[in-house]
Copies of this chain bind each other. A is one copy, B any other.
Amino acid sequence: MNYDFFHYVDLIGTLAFAISGALAAINRNLDIFGVFVISFITACGGGVIRDICIGSFPPAGLINLEYLIIVILSVFLCGFFQKLLLRLNHPTLFFDAIGLGFFASFGAHKTYFFTGNSELAILLGIVTAVGGGILRDTLTTTIPSVLTKEIYASAAIVGAVIQLLGENNIINPALAPWLAILICSSIRLLSLKFKWNLPSIKQVQ
């Protein structure tokens, strides 16, 4: 449960979201700085909102050079290995799903560590996980993923809750982040693959 471990969880989530943002921006034919801006906002947006809400100023995403380097790296990766990445079905959504698990875990952990408030930890775990993707989709004028019928917010909630159970020693705290990441990202990926849907509240005609 040391700082270093969660720092890597954060960086991997950042990388996954940076790639998903860069791919979405390339898909919209933006110039290279536009791709960089969308990639950065996707990668750091959810975390910045979380840090603002827990009163941690300035938000880590804006002062840590590592994030910036990861985003620049992602833009280059997407430029050079685009053909490879596009072999995946829905590559933007694939990397988004990976980031979802890592950020749900890290967001819940950091918030609980700072505030000790369980409700806030779950809510800001969700915000960290879905915030960047919502910003990416809104800025590239796509309908936000959270709005498609596919399981999305639900996966983030599950990830944040598992992490929180670990913070409270209800499940093994060394295992909790791995479980949270594995289950959250898997639920999202499987729901994409098999087009799982939660029941929606039937709208009266």
* A residues whose Cβ falls under 8 Å from a Cβ of B: 26-37, 48, 52-55, 57-59, 62-63, 65, 68, 75, 78-79, 82-83, 86, 115, 117, 119-120, 123-124, 126, 130, 134, 138-141, 143-144, 146-147, 149-154, 157, 197-201, 203-204
Contact assessment for B58 and A199 in the assembled complex, using a CB-CB cutoff below 8 Å = no
The docked-state distance in angstroms from the alpha carbon of A149 to that of B119 is 39
- Residues from chain B with a CB closer than 8 A to the CB of A62 are 53, 119-120, 123-124
A58 to chain B, nearest CB (A): 6
**Complex: how many Å from CA A57 to CA B58?**
13
Interface centre among A31, A36, A37, A151 (most CB of B within 10 A): A31
CB atoms of A203 and B27 under 8 A apart:
yes
| Cross-chain contact of A31 among B35, B144, B149 (Cβ < 8 A) | B149
- Residue of B with least CB distance to A76: B201
Give the residue of B53, B200, B204 whose beta carbon is less than 8 angstroms from that of A32: B200
Name A65's contact: one of B58, B119, B126 (CB within 8 Å): B119
What residues of chain B lie closer than 8 Å to A83, measured between beta carbons?
Answer: 204
B200 near A154: Cβ-Cβ < 8 Å: no
Q: Report yes or no: A30 in contact with B123, Cβ–Cβ below 8 A.
A: no
- Distance in Å: Cβ of A9 to nearest Cβ of chain B: 22
Interchain CB contact (< 8 A) of A147 among B26, B140, B199:
B140
- Contacting A34 at CB < 8 Å: which of B68, B138, B146, B203? B146
Q: Are the CB atoms of A32 and B201 closer together than 8 Å?
A: yes
The reply to whether A198 and B149 contact each other, CB–CB distance below 8 Å, is no
A197 B58 Cβ-Cβ under 8 A: no
The reply to whether B200 and A120 form a contact with Cβ atoms under 8 Å apart is no
Contacts A59-B53, A146-B139: A34 and B204 contacting too (C-beta < 8 A)? no
Residues from chain B with Cβ under 8 Å of A149 in the complex: 29-31, 34
A200 touches B26 (CB 8 A): yes
Q: Is the CB of A63 within 8 A of B31?
A: no
CB distance from A192 to the nearest CB of B (A): 14
